[in-house]
Amino acid sequence: MALYSNVIRDRFRRPRFHGSLERPDVAGEDVNPLCGDRVRMQARLADGRVMEARWSGDCCAISAASADVLLELMEGQPAAHARELTPASLLERLDADVRPSRMKCVALPLTVLQCALDGREVTR
């Protein structure tokens, strides 16, 4: 398995969920202490479901791809579904051989989204 899988390269080059929402119901942001990368997550909710979500930030291809597949997985799902997702489930979607030192890059968008949906500040 490649470090930069086709999924990662594709999502990095042509992200489906990159951008920002005008009136998000929830939003969150945090920094990866390894590299100083910043990831922002926004979502609009209806009946407890994620109707629309976008990510933005200055980040590496792994974080970018992770954020993008995460929002694809969450679209239309109950907000609580985010709590059932793990970095491992994102890694499976990314189809990549990510080293332990870069797992924070995979996990960061998930942590930010989970905290935003819970209405909490990100706790590191």
Site of interaction with other proteins (CB under 8 A): 3-4, 9, 12-13, 34-37, 58-62, 102, 105
Nearest to 106 by CA among 116, 114, 115, 96: 96
Q: Minimum distance between the CB of residue 46 and other proteins, rounded to whole angstroms?
A: 34
Give dist(CA 81, CA 114) in Å, integer. 9
Nearest to 18 by CA among 68, 61, 52: 68
Q: Minimum distance between the CB of residue 61 and other proteins, rounded to whole angstroms?
A: 5
Contacts 24+ apart (CB under 8 A), 81-90: 81/50, 82/110, 82/113, 82/114, 82/117, 83/114, 85/110, 86/110, 90/66
Q: Minimum distance between the CB of residue 81 and other proteins, rounded to whole angstroms?
A: 29
The residue (of 13 and 16) whose beta carbon lies closer to other proteins is 13
Q: Minimum distance between the CB of residue 18 and other proteins, rounded to whole angstroms?
A: 14
The residue (of 33 and 76) whose beta carbon lies closer to other proteins is 33
The residue (of 31 and 45) whose beta carbon lies closer to other proteins is 31
The residue (of 5 and 77) whose beta carbon lies closer to other proteins is 5
Tokens of 72: 């694809």
42 close to 24: Cβ distance less than 8 angstroms: yes
